[in-house]
Chains A and B, each alone.
Chain A
Amino acid sequence: MAENGAKATVTLTIDGVEVTVPSGTRVIEAAEHVGVVVPRYCYHPGIPTRPAQCRMCLVEVEGRPKLEPSCTLQAADEMVVNTASDTARTARQSVIEFLLVNHPLDCPICDAAGQCMLQDYAYVTNQLESRVDEPKRIMGRDRISDDILYFADRCVICTRCVRFMRDVAEDDSLIVAQRGDKAYIDTFPGRELDNPFQGNIVDVCPVGALVHEDFVFKARAWDMDAAASVCPGCPTGCNVTIDTKENQIVRVKPRHNAAVNSWWMCDHGRRHLVMTNRGVRAEVPLIRDGEQLRPVDWATALDWVAEQMEALGSPGGSAVVSPDASNENLFYVHRLLERLGVAGAAFRVAQGDTAALPTVPTLKLRADRAANATGVELFGGCRVDGLADGSEGNGSAVSGSEGGALVVLDDALEGAGEDFGGAADFFLYLGTRLPGAARNADAVLPIATFAEMDGTFTNFEGRVQRFHQALRPPGLARPGWMVLSRVLARLGDGEAVNEVRGAFERMVAEAPAFAGLTWDGIGLKGAPAAGSAAAAAAAAGIHGPQKADA
C-alpha cells in the first residue's frame, strides 16, 4: 500500500462495484461511495482515532488469509473487497452474539430504540434465541456528568465517547474502567466531566448507553419529527437537526457541515435552542383603539397598519431590531424603515462566555449570544449597548422618547421605561412575545420564532445558512416576512409573499450584500454572502438604506 503514496487516486472493487477514491481513503469510507455502509461501532468519521476494536467492520479482502477491519485498512489499487461474504457475515454475527451476552435487551424502555446500531445489526443477524444460559451481569446506571446518564449495561465499549473527549475535545476526562465484561465508561477518579462540548458524547454513542437527562423517557424515536435547522445560540451557526414531538422541541442534534461545525455542537446551543420556544407568546394581532390594544384578525390589522403608514409618509424616527431575526425578516423591516425614512436600526447583543473545540477551528461558542448579528449589520444595523445608549450622531440612539415612527422587531426591550415609544407618531411592534414595554405600541403583530418558519441566518463569517420549520406557530402568529410583505404590498411595494423562497429571492435581488445567492444554491450547507467577512468593504458599502436601492 505504501507504494501508492505517490498516486492521487486508487481504484478498488467493493462488493463487485469498481470505485476510484483518493489514495489514503479507508475501505469503510470507500464503501460508502458505492452505497455500502459497513456496520461499525468504534469508527466515527469525526473522531480521528481508529482503534479497530469493535470488530464489526471486518471485511473479506481477496488474497488475504484473514478478515481485515475496514476502518483502518487503506484502499489500494486492485484490491477486491467483499463486505457481505459468508465469512464476513459470520464474523459480524459472532460479534453481535457476544455483545448480546450481557446486553439487558431493554429496548422497550431504552431511549435509543429505533435509532440503535446494536438493535439494527442484531435484527439483521436474526438471532432470536440466546445460546447463553448464564445469568447476565448487571451494572446499573451512573450519572456521568450533571446532565448525562450512563447505562452501563447497554454499553458496547466502542470508546467513541472516550475518544471524543480525548482526541476531539482534548479533555482527558473519560476512561474505560475495568476490563473484559466488567468494563464500563467512567470519569477519572476525582475528576468530573465538565466540558462545554460534552453533549456530543451522547450523539456519538451508537447505542442507548449515554442519554441526556432531559431526554430520558421523553420520546420514542418514531414519535419524533425532524427538521434541519441552524443553532441560534451564537453567531457560529452550527447546523443542527431539531427533533420535535407534539409541537415541542425534545432534542437537538448537530448536523454535519465540514465548513462550520463538523459533526459537533456546544452544550449552550442545545440548551438555548430548547428554551427558544418556551414562554408566553404573542398570538393575536393587536391594534390601538384609544387607550386599549384591541385584538383583531390579520386582514384588519394589516389594513390598519398600511393605512397608518400611508398617512404617516416618511417622518423619520428610530428602530430596534433583534439580532435573532432571520435575514428575510430583517430585509422586510429594512424596506419598511426605508419607506419611513428611518436610517439604520439599533440592535443589542447579549454577551456570554466563549468556548472552543480545539480540533475544529471553525467551531467556537462565540461571545455574541445571537444568531444573526452579522445579518443585521449587513442591513446597516448599529450595535448599541443599551436602549438609550447609542453613540451620538449615528441615528441609532433609541430612548423611546423620539417622535416620528418607531419600529421594533422582536426585541424584548429590557431596560425600556414606562413611556417607551409614547411620544412616537406610530409605534409598530413585531414580536414573538409581548413585553411590558410594548404597552404604548400602536400595533402589535405576532410573528413566528425561527423554529416556526423557514428562513436564513448569516453566521459570523457571512455564511448564509438555511433553516427549516420545525414547529407550528402558536395562535395567529405568522413569519415576519409573510406579515411585512403584506403590509408593503398594501402600500404598493412588491407582492404578498407566501413562501420563504419568494422573500429570499426578493432580498437577493434588492440587497447587494446577498447578491448572487440562490435558495437552492444555499442548500442545507449554506453559502457565503457577497457582503461577508471576506468582502467586508462591500458590507460597509451597503450601510444606509439609500444605497441598497442603487
Chain B
Amino acid sequence: MPGDVKVVERPRAESSYVRAAAKGMSITMRHLLSPNKKTQQYPDEKWELAPRTRGTHRMAVHEDGRAKCVACGLCPTVCPVNCIKLVPAEDENGERYAAIYEIDEFRCIFCGYCQEVCPVEAIHLGVHYENAEYSRERWVYDLERLVEQEHPVTALWDPQDPASQ
C-alpha cells in the first residue's frame, strides 16, 4: 500500500448500522400505520383537476353536430408556436367553415390564447391530461378528433374568483 494511510478508530456505537436501520424502519412503520396517506392509487384513483387546468383541445359543436368554428383565422394568428393549421372554405349555404383544422398538440404550449381569442367560443382547452399515444402522428388532432373529445373544457377564469384576486 503506497504512502501512509491514516486509520481512525471510531467507537462501535457510532459505526454500527443497526441503529440507523432501526431508525429507518421506524419511519417506515410510522407511515404504514399513519392515516395521513399521500400516495395516489393511479389509475384507480385520479386527480381532481382545477377548473382552469389547460390540457388538450376540444371543439364545441352546434346542436346539429357541426363544429362551431367559423374559420376566422384568429387562433392561428395569435398562436405563439404556430401549432394550428386552418384552411377556410365556403359551405353549401355560403357560410364560412374550417375545411381543415388541425392542432399539433406536441408543439402546443397550452397557453390558452386560442380559447381566449375565439370570437364564437368554438375552440377550448380541456381539463385533461391522459394523452399518451403510440405514434407521433396521432398527436396532430384534426377537426373530427377535436369534436369527439369528451373531457370538460377549461374555464377562462375561476368561477369563485372571476377577477383573479
Query: Which residues on A are within 8 Å of B, measured CB to CB?
Result: 107-109, 113, 141, 216-218, 220, 222-223
Contact = CB atoms under 8 A, between A and B. Distances in A.
A236 to B, nearest CB: 33
A223 B94 contact: no
Given A108-B70, A109-B96, 17 more contacts: A107-B72, A107-B119, A108-B72, A108-B74, A108-B119, A108-B120, A109-B70, A109-B71, A109-B72, A113-B72, A216-B90, A217-B71, A217-B90, A217-B96, A220-B73, A222-B77, A223-B77
Nearest to B90: A217
A217 B71 CA distance: 9
Contacts of B74: 108
B51 interface: no
Nearest to A105: B119
A107 B74 CA distance: 11
Contacts of B96: 109, 217
27 contacts: A107-B72, A107-B119, A108-B70, A108-B72, A108-B74, A108-B119, A108-B120, A109-B70, A109-B71, A109-B72, A109-B95, A109-B96, A113-B72, A141-B94, A216-B90, A217-B71, A217-B88, A217-B89, A217-B90, A217-B96, A218-B88, A220-B72, A220-B73, A220-B77, A222-B77, A223-B73, A223-B77
Contacts of A217: 71, 88-90, 96
A132 B132 CA distance: 50
Contacts of B77: 220, 222-223
A141 to B, nearest CB: 7
Contacts of A223: 73, 77
A286 B58 CA distance: 51
The 8 closest A-B pairs by CB, nearest first: A108-B72, A109-B96, A108-B119, A220-B73, A217-B88, A217-B96, A109-B70, A217-B90
A246 to B, nearest CB: 10
Size class of the contact patch on chain B: 10 to 19
A113 B88 CA distance: 15
B85 to A, nearest CB: 11
A222 B96 CA distance: 18
Contacts of B70: 108-109
Contacts of A109: 70-72, 95-96
Contacts of A220: 72-73, 77
Contacts of B120: 108
Most central of A108, A141, A222, A223 by chain B CB within 10 Å: A108
Nearest to A113: B72
Most central of B73, B77, B88 by chain A CB within 10 Å: B73
A48 B33 CA distance: 93
A109 B70 CA distance: 7
A108 B120 CA distance: 9
Interface string B44-56: 0000000000000
A220 B71 CA distance: 10
Interface string B103-138: 000000000000000011000000000000000000
A217 B90 CA distance: 7
Contacts of A107: 72, 119
Most central of A107, A113, A218, A220 by chain B CB within 10 Å: A220
Interface string B71-90: 11110010000000000111
B25 to A, nearest CB: 66
Nearest to B74: A108
Contacts of B90: 216-217
Contacts of B119: 107-108
Contacts of A218: 88
A320 B8 CA distance: 101
Nearest to B94: A141
B92 to A, nearest CB: 14
A223 B71 CA distance: 13
Contacts of A141: 94
A41 B142 CA distance: 42
Contacts of B95: 109
A141 B90 CA distance: 14
B91 to A, nearest CB: 10
A103 to B, nearest CB: 15
B98 to A, nearest CB: 10
A223 B73 CA distance: 9
Contacts of A113: 72
B75 to A, nearest CB: 11
Nearest to A106: B70
A10 B96 CA distance: 52
A218 B96 CA distance: 10
A222 B89 CA distance: 17
A408 B96 CA distance: 46
Most central of B70, B71, B72, B120 by chain A CB within 10 Å: B72
A223 B119 CA distance: 18
Most central of A108, A217, A222 by chain B CB within 10 Å: A217
Contacts of A222: 77
A109 B97 CA distance: 9
A113 B72 CA distance: 10
Nearest to A246: B87
B40 to A, nearest CB: 43
A113 to B, nearest CB: 8
Contacts of B89: 217
Nearest to A213: B90
Nearest to A218: B88
Contacts of A108: 70, 72, 74, 119-120
A288 to B, nearest CB: 42
B120 to A, nearest CB: 7
Contacts of B94: 141
A141 B95 CA distance: 11
Nearest to B117: A108
Nearest to B89: A217
A218 B71 CA distance: 10
Interface string B2-46: 000000000000000000000000000000000000000000000
A218 B90 CA distance: 9
A223 B89 CA distance: 15
A109 B72 CA distance: 5
